[in-house]
Amino acid sequence: MKFGKEFASQMVPEWQTAYMDYNYLKFLLKDIQVSNQRNKPNGLKRRSTLYRTFSGLIQRNSNNNSPRKSTSSPRKRNGGGDIEDQVILVNVKAKGSEGLYETMFLMSTEEGGEKELVFFRKLDDEFNKVNQFYKSKVDEVVKEATFLNKQMDALIAFRIKVENRGKRIDLSAEMNRLASDVAASAAAVSASAPSGARKSGKIHTDAINENTTTDGIVSKDSDDVLNHVTINSPNGTPYSAIKGLLKVDKDNELNFRKANLRTVEEQLKRAFIEFYQKLRLLKNYSFLNLLALSKIMKKYDKVSSRNASKPYLNMVDSSYIGNSDEVTRLVERVEATFIKHFSNSNRSKGMNVLRPKARKETHTTTFSLGFLTGCTIALIAALILIIHVRKILKTEGFGQYMENMFPLYSLFAFIVLHMFMYAGNLYFWRRYRVNYSFIFGFKQGTELGYREVFLIGTGLATLALASVLANLDMEINEETKDYQVITELLPLGLVALVLLITFCPFNIIYRSSRFFLLCCVFHCICAPLYKVTLPDFFLADQLTSQIQALRSLEFYVCYYAWGDFKQRRNMCRSNDVYNTFYFIVATIPYLSRLLQCLRRLWEERDPMQGYNGLKYLSTVVAVLMRTAYSRQRSTVWWILALVTSIIATVFSTYWDLIVDWGLLQRQSKNRWLRDKLILPHKSVYFGVMVSSNNKSIETVLQHNRI
């Protein structure tokens, strides 16, 4: 793979604009190469120094008046090149506390030199951009390291208090004892670093030192640390939300229990893992950009037949991004801290957590996916053949079957289709290097890939299609006037099996992912009582597209509880309770999103959350108006239902296209789209906009048929 593609593939998507524009610099080099070939004479190209006056083989001894002696002192400049061969001079322009590098191209008067001048100006801009971005990110991680240092102070004091509960101990002495090894390892890291780096980065050496200064003394009094510690739940609880809403004073007393200690350790452990991953990304960012600079300068030397790479790379080596080692030192300190305090000094165990190995797709998963996909296709073909051979579409019981059994099996069709679409999302997220496991907060190493999700979808599709074939009986028994009970209970049994697997407490069939889903569903149900996180409102948004699946669940209750399933008859449509809940169920996902928006508006004071909540409120009102019209068909209710449906449709369409998708951005560099795009093909965005817009309009109109 060429370096340009490798360089682009390893970029952090969130930092994509901060990387060096390697492709554009290559384009400038091609322009220089074309210009040189156009201006190249037919004869041999000779250096201008070959046509200079011959000065003799023996150096003449001359006085101070000799011009040779006046030019002999600065013979070595910019990495050892002769002054006669000097191509560039690099200067540092002071700008506040940051240094901007500017390259002076000394051959701009030559033919085609203006193109090389443009190249060096662009190169300086890219390097200064990379250097300043790296410095700003290093400052951020140093501040985060200082914060983690305080957290470790509290954790160690809390751990000592819990482990010695009921005993009289000297907390300061215990903390000093636990910190002594850490201080010793910090001194070892400092001693192993270059002397220049120790001087320049001294303030950052002990930023991640858990609770010690360089001499191993506790930075704060232990009792004072514990007096200022409270345990905060990241998502909150219904109890804490109600207390916060009622402005009840919080109980700040710290309970020294092992359960609380495990909670604190788990949260801080996750913080260290995320911080370590950020350090690795920052280190990789530095390496990639330095490598890109080195390659582009070597290409320049090759294209222009000059020797400018050495002085320029010497300047790069002396810059902040080339000379700073704060990130490397922080990486070493985080590893030492994590191994000691979170993996019981087991280095291999600690490093496996900090640097998890990429999950390898097993042959079992691949084989099972292929097998179940084949079964799904075979069952679909068998179903089509049976319908065609037996002429089921013309039988007397086909209408009754579609009215009663089709809504039952459509539930599985909606679930399988949703899982296939989610698997497609996972595939493209992985292809375009979207770190979805970190974004959604999946437990490390337990996130599902697209193959696993496809496997679950095809497995459920196989079971559902097999159940349809077993249940596809249109003829009623003339003697008993009913259908076989076993076959009629197959859909209910399949739903029970799915629910049993979903709530199964045993570590089978991706237990971590199942519990994560259940937790998000519970947060959506109790939307205003939990802090809203991305997985919660992402799932609630997905549920707004599964209204028919929720109505299918309602039909299950009606059909098997109130209907006569033995004769494939139901009384759902004549039941007022069912008809009312038929529309109320459709509002549940929108109400959940509305409550989530209100919770975020209350916490973040962001007016956009209020406007987003109005979008879902308009949909809820439209559905309720349609419900009222269905119960009392009058002109007034018809007009209200029509107006609210139009408002909800227009509001949803505008929000989806303009706010969510960023359409009609006039100042954007991408025509009609936002500046930052992940996918390279813009047509994909417009296609998805059209499909999602049609979906939103269809969803609203479906709930509000006038």
pLDDT band at residue 232 using 50, 70 and 90 as cut-offs: low
Distance CA 370, CA 497 (A): 23
pLDDT at position 245: 56
Residue 594, pLDDT > 90, answer: yes
User: Any residues with CB less than 8 A from the CB of 628 and at least 6 apart, and which?
Assistant: 637, 640, 641
CB count in 10 Å sphere of residue 77: 13
Distance CA 230, CA 228 (A): 7
pLDDT at position 493: 93
Average pLDDT rounded to a whole number, residues 510-530? 92
Write phi, then psi, for 431 (nearest 5 degrees). -65, -40
CB count in 10 Å sphere of residue 433: 14
pLDDT band at residue 155 using 50, 70 and 90 as cut-offs: confident
Residue 19 in contact with residue 289, Cβ under 8 Å?
yes
Kindly list the distances between the CA atom of residue 30 and the CA atoms of 24, 36, 48, 407, 483, in Å, as whole numbers in the listed order.
10, 10, 24, 63, 78
Task: Please give the structure tokens belonging to residue 676.
Answer: 């930052």
pLDDT at position 660: 82
pLDDT band at residue 705 using 50, 70 and 90 as cut-offs: very low
Lowest-pLDDT range, 20-24, 238-242, 312-316? 238-242
Q: What is the DSSP string of 470-493?
A: HH---PPPTTT-S--HHHHTHHHH
Note the pLDDT tens digit of each residue in 466-499.
Answer: 999 988 888 777 676 678 888 889 999 999 999 9
Note the pLDDT tens digit of each residue in 253-291.
Answer: 556 677 778 888 888 888 898 899 899 999 999 999 999
Residue 98 in contact with residue 135, Cβ under 8 Å?
yes
Residue 654, pLDDT > 50, answer: yes
Lowest-pLDDT range, 95-104, 119-128, 306-315, 627-636? 95-104
Distance CA 575, CA 563 (A): 11
For residue 544, the surrounding DSSP H or E stretch is none
CB count in 10 Å sphere of residue 141: 22
Domain residue ranges in the chain: 131-353, 362-569, 573-580+587-706
Note the pLDDT tens digit of each residue in 27-50.
Answer: 888 888 888 777 766 544 444 444
User: Any residues with CB less than 8 A from the CB of 635 and at least 6 apart, and which?
Assistant: none
pLDDT at position 514: 94
pLDDT at position 356: 75
pLDDT at position 520: 93
Closest by CA position to 282, among listed 144, 422, 158, 165:
144
Task: Please give the structure tokens belonging to residue 201.
Answer: 């980065």
Average pLDDT rounded to a whole number, residues 501-513? 92
Note the pLDDT tens digit of each residue in 356-370.
Answer: 776 677 788 999 999
Residue 572 in contact with residue 578, Cβ under 8 Å?
yes
Distance CA 600, CA 527 (A): 10
Kindly list the distances between the CA atom of residue 370 and the CA atoms of 50, 279, 382, 414, in Å, as whole numbers in the listed order.
71, 40, 18, 22
Kindly list the distances between the CA atom of residue 685 and the CA atoms of 433, 499, 650, 666, 673, in Å, as whole numbers in the listed order.
18, 36, 20, 16, 9
Task: Please give the structure tokens belonging to residue 614.
Answer: 């109005």
Q: Which residue has the higher pLDDT, 395 or 67?
A: 395
Write phi, then psi, for 98 (nearest 5 degrees). -110, 150
Closest by CA position to 429, among listed 455, 407, 448:
448
pLDDT band at residue 411 using 50, 70 and 90 as cut-offs: very high
Distance CA 461, CA 482 (A): 28
DSSP designation for 59: P
pLDDT band at residue 185 using 50, 70 and 90 as cut-offs: very low
478-500: string of b/e by CB count within 10 Å (b at 16+)?
A: eeeeebeeeebebbeebbeebee
Query: Which H, E and C letters describe 568-586, residue by residue?
Result: CECCCCCCHHHHHHHHHHH
Note the pLDDT tens digit of each residue in 135-152.
Answer: 999 999 999 998 888 888
Note the pLDDT tens digit of each residue in 51-99.
Answer: 454 444 444 444 444 443 333 333 344 444 444 457 777 777 765 446 7
Kindly list the distances between the CA atom of residue 451 and the CA atoms of 374, 416, 434, in Å, as whole numbers in the listed order.
15, 14, 17
Report the chain's mean pLDDT, rounded to a whole number. Answer: 78
